[in-house]
A and B are shown apart, each in its own frame.
Chain A
């Protein structure tokens, strides 16, 4: 077997050109998911709101129990019709079919990331424990301040390693966008490779690019971890 190095080179640049879109989808998904996931984690950690708790736990189970590709297919086939129906009902001057598929991608990945990340944060909140919260209340902090100043920083720093894995998983997950014709890394190279049937070269390049991105993310998280290590219990 011989590799077509010229094609590898050209598909490397092709893939590199699609990296910004992959990162954009990842970043937007994180922007939407991280705060919502944290709020759900806090809600599920509390004693109150049993009904809400049940809804969230069903949601998490549903997301965890279905393959992401199935979620993509379901949401992508259902959502446009649903949106169309809503838009027509409300009489908005808006064309559903003009919505970019990138938007759907972000929506789908957020849908699953919120569930995963809420479990990550829930673990973090458990690690912090109730005594820190009580100490904050006794010091006169409001419940909100107790969470933002004392609980959240500790919970997040406790789960940084898991968060790193989650972010990397999300980046790799975006490769499934090719299923809905989004031109991110996997999509563009796959199309190019199908023209001259040099799939092996194309896929090797894709793999290399994902490894590079994920290594960079890992390196970033290492720096973050070192920054917060000072207050971690040195066991």
Chain B
């Protein structure tokens, strides 16, 4: 459904991504792991054209798009078929929770306001935020804001949802409420690409785990394999440090 090939991106002399290839099938939940600065977030941003890749192509549904020279219509197409959940939620501060969901429907997807509101309410219900639909972001907790962020992402019924470290900015006790919604979405067959540091989520929910370092995909595989028998030395090292940290916190 979504296929990336040969994606490269540099900021000045800094090479962030190098020849990244990724295949996503419908229903996949892909967890992208890796140390900070490894290019995970940039990869996600390149998919949604928040960053313009220097090289690479994307196949989405039946369209092949050259990432560095995508036309306006192609960018619009990709943004209709994908949605983005941000690390810092990035809810529209001047809009209520419901308006945050309907804004993209009405002005991005040209859905009539009335229908958009119905869709919006359903989406908020799904993330357990129906009773907060008239609240402004500043009146919501981080976890609640991210749940609205997820509602905004699912409302347009995209092919794939891109999650950029959706729980990294949250207080520890609020992480659960967001992860459980993501788990529910995964079980319903939503296609997701998730950049995350939540190892237990990656292990239990993802259908595929990817390890990135230095702008390349070093290892990818079925999560169980990945966590139990990592092949690459760098992956082992990374997992050790993460697992050590987990033991340490326990």
Contact = CB atoms under 8 A, between A and B. Distances in A.
A and B together in one complex: yes
B92 A150 contact: yes
Interface in B181-209: none
Interface string A219-235: 00000000010111110
Given A131-B86, A232-B138, A233-B138, A140 B94 contact: no
B197 to A, nearest CB: 20
Nearest to A233: B138
Given A135-B91, A136-B92, A231-B94, A141 B50 contact: no
Interface in A136-172: 136-142, 145, 149-150, 153-154, 157
Contacts of A233: 93, 138
A136 B105 CA distance: 11
A141 B107 contact: yes
Given A145-B107, A231-B137, A233-B138, A138 B94 contact: no
Interface residues of A, number: 23
Contact of B79 (A138, A145, A154, A232): A138
Interface residues of B, number: 27
Contacts of B120: none
B48 A138 contact: yes
A134 B138 contact: no
Given A135-B86, A150-B92, A140 B80 contact: yes
Contacts of B232: none
20 contacts: A131-B86, A132-B92, A135-B90, A139-B79, A139-B103, A139-B104, A140-B76, A140-B104, A140-B108, A141-B103, A141-B108, A149-B103, A150-B94, A150-B95, A231-B95, A231-B136, A231-B137, A232-B138, A233-B93, A234-B139
